[in-house]
Amino acid sequence: MKITLLQTDIVWENKEKNFRNLEELISSVTDGTDIIILPEMFSTGFSMNPAELSEAPASGTLEWMRSVAKNKCSGVCGSYIVKEENHFFNRWVFVSPENEIWSYDKRHLFSPGGEKNLFDRGSNRVVFNFRGVRICPNICYDLRFPVWSRIKNDYDILINSANWPESRRDVWTTLLKARALENQCYVAGVNRIGVDGTGIKYCGDSMIFGPKGEIIASGERNMQCAVHGEISMEELSDFREKFPVLNDADDFEVLI
């Protein structure tokens, strides 16, 4: 499976400019790419203004994603702000070229940034299958909570869409690698660059890790770019069979 991470500078609270910017990057993505992964809140930046920026579940941003998925014959995913019955969600959405849709609401809301006061947290851990690969999504701050993404022999790649500040970049890269090692899975983490409307700086460090903790692909720091990598289900299966540490994992239950 071929994966592309779009490491982009996000224009603060300006959806149209962000769509145009992303379309320029997407135009460089080669045919045959299976999944295009976008950052957290890719159309607005990590804004705590959901009353003005939120959308209904089926609205402009989803239609844009549908168009990209169809034109590129690729799955497209990332998070944006959704409103349902006066509740706001930081919702990660995956759209297939066949218009199949899967979604995940961010579980761990970033209380230091005020997200916990404005958004409702998700209650469901999500895993789905796309082109023979089992995918588990999470969003930014979720990465710090390993129990939530602990594998149950049920997924092959963990995808994290983020707005992760440069000041904590070592934490970002360390946790991406840790999730890959402890779960014997691929991990794809895409992060933005630039400075947001609150003055927070981001430097990217978008990466794909393999199950042995090896870096498969990475984006250059502070550079807007498309990061391409390829993962192999055959190699993953062989590694898990030869070194079956997951068979010795503790049983656990996540309490909602």
Q: Say how many C-beta atoms besides its own lie within 10 A of residue 230's C-beta.
A: 12
Confirm whether 7 is domain-assigned.
yes
Mean pLDDT of the chain: 96
Structure-block tokens of residue 108: 């761990």
Confirm whether 67 is domain-assigned.
yes
Confirm whether 234 is domain-assigned.
yes
Handedness of CA 127, 139, 13, 47 (dihedral sign): positive
On whether the CB atoms of residues 107 and 91 are closer than 8 A, the answer is no
Catalytic residue annotation: 40, 106, 140
Residues 82, 50: Cα–Cα separation, whole Å: 8
CATH number at residue 149: 3.60.110.10
Confirm whether 27 is domain-assigned.
yes
Confirm whether 79 is domain-assigned.
yes
Read off the pLDDT of residues 31-69 as tens digits, 9 standing for 90 and up.
999 999 999 999 999 999 999 999 999 999 999 999 999
| Residue recorded with tokens 């497209």 | 76
pLDDT number for residue 253: 73
For residue 87, what are the contacts with CB-CB under 8 A and spacing of at least 6? 120
Confirm whether 163 is domain-assigned.
yes
Task: Please give the residue that has the higher pLDDT: either 251 or 137.
Answer: 137
Is 0.85 surpassed by the pTM of this model?
A: yes
Residues 30, 12: Cα–Cα separation, whole Å: 28
pLDDT number for residue 256: 59
What's the number of domains the chain is made of?
A: 1
Confirm whether 53 is domain-assigned.
yes
Residues 100, 169: Cα–Cα separation, whole Å: 34
Q: Give residue 42's domain range.
A: 2-246
Structure-block tokens of residue 61: 């941003």
Between the two ends of the chain, the Cα-to-Cα distance in Å is: 33
pLDDT number for residue 242: 97
Which letter does DSSP use for residue 207 in this model?
Answer: E
Read off the pLDDT of residues 181-210 as tens digits, 9 standing for 90 and up.
999 999 999 999 999 999 999 999 999 999
Confirm whether 254 is domain-assigned.
no
